[in-house]
Amino acid sequence: MLTPDEMGWLLAAVAKGDAAAFERLYDATRARLYGVVLRILRRPDLAAEIMPDAYTRIWRSAADFDPRIATPITWMVAIARGRALDLVRSQGAMEEATGAPDMGADESGPTDRHITEELRRLLACLGELEPEHRRLVLLAYYSGWSREQLAARFETGLDNVKTWLRGSLLRIRECLGS
Amino acid sequence: MTQAEPDDQELLAAEYVLGTLDAEERARARDLIAMDPGFAAMVRAWERRLGELNVLVAAVEPPPEIWDRVKAAIAGRAPREELRAPAVEPPAPEPAALKDSGPEILRLRRRVRRWRKVSLWLFLIAAAGAGFGVLRELRPEYLPPDLRPEMKTIELTKTVEIPSPKPAQFVAVLEKDGAQPAFLVSFDLERRTLMVRNVSAPAQAGKSYQLWLISNRFSSPRSLGVIGTEEYSRPQLAAYDPIILHSATYSVSLEPEGGSATGTPSGPMLYSGRLIQATPIGFRDQTP
């Protein structure tokens, strides 16, 4: 994995139309982005559909990347995740795929992955939430579950889910102090 | 007067980033991102807050053919250039809307100002949920003071800056006699799709609104589809050259339910407007 600075330079080159830089950026980020969208979409065919779309957007809007407000990878992940979520929500077709809830290992914590200071703070804040609310937020983020899916999984009403989600998000914001 | 809870927008931004909004709410959030820099900044802040979570996702090597598709998708496209690239040979004199001339800028400035108002409207509508009756009577000068100055003093370059990711770089505000905006059409010219939002046009029993593209290239208006009772319709623009899309007038007529039977407008043309480039030519490049 390249450093954020290296990726920032690549993005700057991409903004000027540098196709070689774009290929390097793709090589450095493809597995991360594919992992994120595959986790949400659960179907390799759909993930393969979203990837070119996401990278086209990255190519076209590289000039918008602002290192003061994002790191290159979070910026790129946000674009790819957004596209995957748009697809999932517009299709409404993921229901059957979510029959078996995937409470995967991702919540159990990182092992050898690079933990940034920002992530450490975020995890500390997540740790302050009720365990159930924390699971709700993480399932929403990682698996892209809708409020309906979360309500079914947590055997509660939509209003509850909405209240829990929003309360949790506001607490996270408060805890991060930003 | 209904006033938006400050946290409503914040929570919309937060849930947009988290991913728990439904399709309709996501579309509304995307509209706001494209039109309201304040909201876009909230989204970016939430992307920053939650974005680090991606580190914990297991990386998965994608199939190699995806790179071929990525390459094909960007082939021949300079980043963000294709819509104003002079390389795209304009076959006819046209299009006035693309000329970077003084009067055009002034017109654009006026339009952008109007367009800002619309985005404030949409913000209030989105936040207030159902307050159409109240909002219809609203005028910008009645807005809460903390919303007003931004609208009046903002620099054009800032006003029109569209934060990423931007689904639409172009919008058309359809209005009647320069009065109240009735429909907002946002264009994704890259994907040749458009989204129509009914901002204030009243529903009429047994009638449908239909969107038309009017261009001097065509002898008659071309239908872009009936605007459903749903907030959005997404007719394809694939048949139209970007040059035509830029220079056309977009109009909405009132038709029998289900749309005009003749293929051309059969009812009154109620609202119309033209495309506004949200990132105006000549400005973007001067931004550091």
**CATH code for position A143:** 1.10.10.10
Interface-testing mutation among A16, A98, A141, with chain B (most B C-beta atoms within 10 A): A141
| Residues of B (32-91) whose Cβ lies below 8 Å from A | 44-63, 65-67, 69-70, 72-74, 77-81
Nearest-angstrom CA–CA distance, B180 and B167: 25
Shared domain for A121 and A154, answered yes or no, is yes
Q: Please determine, for residue A111, whether its predicted confidence score (pLDDT) is greater than 60.
A: no
* Predicted local confidence at residue B89, as pLDDT: 39
Residues A65-102 pLDDT 10s: 999 889 999 999 999 999 999 999 987 645 444 444 44
User: Taking the model in full, what pTM does it have?
Assistant: 0.56
Q: Do residues A88 and A128 both lie within one domain?
A: no
A62 lies in the same domain as A106: no
**Residues of chain A with C-beta less than 8 angstroms from the C-beta of B17:** 78
Q: How confident is the model at residue B62 (pLDDT cuts 50, 70, 90)?
A: very high
> Quick one: pLDDT band at residue B230, thresholds 50, 70, 90?
low
Are A87 and A109 members of one domain? no
**B2-28 exposure pattern, b = at least 16 Cβ within 10 A, e = fewer:** eebeeeebbbbbbbbbbbbbebebbbb
Contact A65 B56 (CB under 8 A): no
DSSP letters of B109-133? HHHHHHHHHHHHHHHHHHHHSSTHH
Read off the DSSP letter of residue B166: -
**B271 vs A67: CA distance, rounded Å:** 42
B77 secondary structure, DSSP code: -
How far is Cα B118 from Cα A22, in angstroms, rounded to an integer?
37
The predicted pLDDT at position B194 comes to 77
- A42 close to B (CB below 8 A): no
Instruction: Tell which A residues from 64 to 93 touch B, by Cβ distance under 8 Å.
Output: 64-65, 69-71, 73-75, 77-79, 81-82, 85-86, 89-90, 92
Indicate if A89 and A22 belong to the same structural domain: yes
Q: How far from the centroid of its chain's Cα atoms is residue B36's Cα?
A: 11
Give me the domain span that covers residue A74: 1-93
Residues 21-40 of A with CB under 8 A from B: 22-23, 26, 30-32, 34-36, 38-40
Distance (Å) from the alpha carbon of B262 to chain A's nearest alpha carbon: 32
Number of domains in chain A: 2
State whether B26 and A89 contact (CB < 8 Å).
yes
> Of A48, A74, A75, which is closest to B63 when you measure between CB atoms?
A48
Same-domain pairing of A104 and A68: no
- Do A52 and A83 fall within a single domain? yes
Residue where one domain finishes, among candidates A60, A75, A93: A93
Pair (A54, A23) in one structural domain? yes
Cβ-based contacts under 8 A for chains A and B: 186
CATH number of the structural domain spanning residue A82: 1.10.1740.10
Query: What end-to-end distance do the CA atoms of chain A give, in Å?
Result: 28
| Shared-domain flag, residues A172 and A131 | yes
Omega before B165 within 30 of 0, i.e. cis: yes
Regarding whether A107 and A166 lie in a shared domain, the answer is yes
